[in-house]
Structure 1
Amino acid sequence: MQSESIPILTAGGVRGTWTVSASEEGPPWLLTLRAEDGREWTSEADDLFSAFQEIRRHTDAEGIKLCVNGARRDAHPSGMSRDMGGGTMLYVLPSRRGPRMLLSIFKRPTRRNMIYIFDPAPCESAVPVEEQIRYFTDWVGSDD
């Protein structure tokens, strides 16, 4: 199992570092988040992005922000990323939206628009799971 430290921000504004551990092969993918105070959340899913979203639902309810790319409003894996890489690499969704743009970025990935799920991100960019899902759904559905 691979472990790494991730930055967090509590509801009270306290910054910290927690540990996320992920299975090295899947599916199913097993993900565990450990807080500095010993609390632990575990999830198992078809890919790490889904497992991470499930854990975030619990931390969201406590007002805790996990300040990593996987919690960004504008980050989402492609189907191929989920199937072939377990959802560890995400795309940064450009401000231009719609199905044609979606096909464009998912077919031609670059280092500029792909990011690792657990790399640090500004806490201001971390949003609750439901907001992230709503943004992606709106982004895909728009034909601007």
Structure 2
Amino acid sequence: MSDERVLGHRDDVTAVRGEERAVAGLTWTADARAESYTVTAAGLWGTSEASGRDLLAALETVRRELEDEGWLLALNAARPDVAQSGMLRSSGGSRAYVLRDGTPGRLDAMVDLFDDAPPSAVTTVDAQKEAHRRWLRSL
């Protein structure tokens, strides 16, 4: 039997595919017994669900599935300038740093992964990872 707990749910997430916009539902849960997190996104594409060792890993898997259909979620988690540190990831938290070239992540520059981001500010998982590598090189 699982010990699953809902951490959050939204029915108003914007999903974008080019100029097309859709509203999606997003739920994120934690299973203490399995030490895992699950993210579920439901929209025009149907339902995509993934589990991972932390919230970001589960969300990135869902994002990749949606990317295969051309969809991006307009969330802070999909911004190229947003990333979690290893400590934030292992804590199971949904907070992340807003990164600026040449500057370490700061506590006063944090956002929630699941909060809205402008559709024009989001990118693919791979592009986000490359932006993070560039930021690391800038330090």
Asked whether the two chains share a fold, i.e. TM above 0.5, the reply is: yes
In structure 2, what is the equivalent of residue 90 of structure 1? 96
**Aligned pair count?**
130
Of structures 1 and 2, the one scoring higher in RCO (CA 8 A, sep 6+) is 1
Residue 21 (structure 2) aligned to one of 2, 12, 15: 15
TM-score when normalising by structure 1: 0.82
Which AA in structure 2 matches 1:109? Answer: L
Q: Which of 131, 134, 144 is the aligned partner of 2:130?
A: 134
Partners in 2 of 1:92 and 1:69 — Cα distance? Answer: 9
Counterpart pick for 2:65 among 42, 58, 80: 58
Kindly indicate which of the two structures has a greater share of residues assigned to strand: 2
Deviation at 1:87, TM superposition (A): 4.2
Mapped to 1, the partners of 2:82 and 2:126 lie a distance apart of 13
Q: Distance in 2 between matches of 1:83 and 1:93?
A: 19
- TM-score, with normalisation over the residues of structure 2? 0.85
Aligned to 1:109: 107
C-alpha contact 1:77 1:87 (8 A) present in aligned 2 = no
Question: Displacement, 1:142?
Answer: 2.7
Question: Matched residues in 2 for 1:127 and 1:92: separation?
Answer: 15
8 Å contact kept, 1:72–1:125 = yes
| Cα distance in 2 for residues equivalent to 1:10 and 1:127 | 11
Unaligned runs of 5+ residues in structure 2 are 1-5
Q: Identity of aligned pairs, percent?
A: 25
Q: Which of 30, 37, 47 is equivalent to 1:29? A: 37
Give the helix-richer structure, 1 or 2: 1
The 3-state SS of whatever aligns with 1:120 is coil
